[in-house]
Every structure is written in structure tokens, then in C-alpha cells.
Amino acid sequence: MTDRYAVIGNPIQQSKSPLIHGMFAEATGQDIAYSKIEGPLGGFAGAVDVFRAAGGRGMNITAPFKLDAFAYATERSERAQLAGAVNAMKFEGARIMAENFDGVGLVRDVVHNLGCALAGKRVLILGAGGATRGALLPFLAEKPALLCIANRTLDKAHALAAAVAPHGAVQAGGYAELEGQSFDVVFNATSASLYAELPPVPASAFSQAVLAYELAYGKGLTPFLRLAQNAGVQQLADGVGMLAEQAAEAFEWWRGVRPDTRGVIEKLTVPLV
């Protein structure tokens, strides 16, 4: 019997999740059907109720419903609790289990696919929104020498740093405080690149960087990546690998088998030019 899964968001037309999970299912011999659901704004719970009642087994969640999914769940992982947001759910009877695989997918892409170890590195992440919240515990599990969060709103950055301080060395501040500091790996988790804008990070932050990583994907050489390239960073990456790896984490959680992500990454990669 074919098991049903879906991704829910609004808008949802742009989602690559059906393509990705279809490729995973074909490669692993799993009998699933995966669809897109455009959830009505303010009507997340009702849309998920309908999907579950029709036999749905699990869902991916994208904007703007990650906070709604957190509230809807009956059980949340530690990662989901820290992020305050959910990007995958699994349904077993009345149980609604929730996870956040964004951060672990990002770390897997960086460490395994790109070959850039984070252990002992000085790591900078720009932005203090949901993407950063989901990444903090997976980052700290890699034992960086320092994890620095830079954000326009200082209170948000400091609150995040305080929340994960027991797990490792975390520093938080504004962009002006980055002057004179250098980092080994720099991540852009702001929304700036969605609007072809540059976050206010000084070029000096890249002076010793070996990798600049743009969490947005499919945007080519964003202003952030161009700044890093001009500062001499040799390895540039966007979030296509993160997209594939977080999807693989959800697929394994649902189906008990981990798919190879290389085919998906190759298919979705856009040249950084």
C-alpha cells in the first residue's frame, strides 16, 4: 500500500520537495506518494487534520508554517524545542512527532559533502532567525573553537547565545563588533540574499575564511558570496546541499533507510556565477 507524505507551505509552487523525495523513493525502492499542499494562512491545523484523516504518514513544513507546526505537535525533539520551529512531522495515531532537520542537514553538507570540518574552527553565522536557531546545537556538537552569532537586533542574538551556552563557546553581538575579527567559516542565514541585498558584514571577517556558505539556494553568486569571493575565500557554497541533506534526514526518519543525496544535489545545483 502506498504511503502518503506531503510538504505544506504558502506559497508552495516553488518547492522542490516532491522532486527530491520522489528521487529518494525511486533510489531506495520505497512505495510512497509525495504531494504539495498550499495551506491557507491561519488554517494550518485544519489542513493537516484533513491530510492525517486521509491516511497521511508525515509532512515537511516550510514557510510560513514552521511555528504553527511547533504548536500543533504533541512531541518535539530537543532540536525542535531549541529552534522553536519544526520542519518535519511524523504521524502515528494520535501522536504528532516533530523534528527540525535544518541544522543537522547543514552540518552534514558542510562536513561530509564539502569536506570542511568545523571542529576547532572559528565559525560566524549571520542572522538570529529560525535557520540559525535550528543550526546552533548541530554546530556546537562539532566542537568549534568559537561560534559567533551576529544580528542587527542584539537582544535576539544574545538570547540565542544564552540558550545554547551550556553546549559550547558562543559569542553574540552586532555587525559593527565584527570589525577586526576573522573567522574560518562564515554562514549567511539572513534573508538578505532573497532580495539581492548584502548583510552588513565587513570584508575583514573573511580574511582567513576557508568557506563562505549561503543558506539560500538557487540564487547564483549572491552579494554575500561575491563579497566573500572578492575577499579571497576559495570555497563558496549555497544551500542546495543543506536542502538535500535535511530532506534525507526526514526520509530516513519516516522510512528507516537513508538515501544517497548526490543525485539530488547534482540535479538542483545552480552554478555560482
Q: What is the pLDDT of residues 92-114, one digit of tens each?
A: 999 999 999 999 999 999 999 99
DSSP bridge pairs for 214: 188
Alpha helices by DSSP H, listed for the chain, are 17-28, 44-53, 66-72, 78-83, 102-108, 130-141, 154-164, 223-230, 240-255, 262-268
Confirm whether 66 is a catalytic residue. Answer: yes
Residue 273: per-residue pLDDT: 85
DSSP 13: T
Question: Cα torsion for 114, 261, 223, 124, to the nearest 10°?
Answer: -50
Residue 133: per-residue pLDDT: 86
Q: Angle at CA 123, nearest 5°, toward 60 and 129? A: 40
Give the predicted TM-score (pTM) of the model: 0.94
Convert the pLDDT of each residue in 56-68 to its tens digit. Answer: 999 999 989 998 9
**Phi, psi at residue 188, to the nearest 5°?**
-105, 105
Contact 253, 90 (CB under 8 A): yes
Contact 107, 113 (CB under 8 A): no
Chain position carrying cell 486521509 = 54
Contact 139, 104 (CB under 8 A): no
Specify the amino acid at residue 256: G
Q: How confident is the prediction for the chain on average, in pLDDT?
A: 95
Question: 226 Cβ partners below 8 Å, 6+ apart?
Answer: none
| Average pLDDT over every residue of 217-233 | 96
What confidence category does residue 43 fall into, taking pLDDT thresholds of 50, 70 and 90? very high
Residue 100: per-residue pLDDT: 95
How distant, in Å, are the alpha carbons of 42, 80, 97, 148, 236 from that of 239? 29, 20, 26, 20, 10
DSSP 39: P
Q: At what angle do helices 240-255 and 17-28 cross, to 10 degrees?
A: 50
Query: Hey, what domains does the chain have and what are their CATH numbers?
Result: 3-100 (3.40.50.10860), 103-240 (3.40.50.720)
Say whether pLDDT at 194 is over 90. Answer: no
| Three-state DSSP class for residue 147 | strand
Residue 208: per-residue pLDDT: 96
Please identify which of the residues 36, 66, 143, 267 carries the catalytic annotation. 66
Convert the pLDDT of each residue in 139-183 to its tens digit. Answer: 999 999 999 999 999 999 999 999 899 999 899 999 999 999 999
The fraction of the chain above a pLDDT of 70, given in percent, is 100
| Average pLDDT over every residue of 19-47 | 98
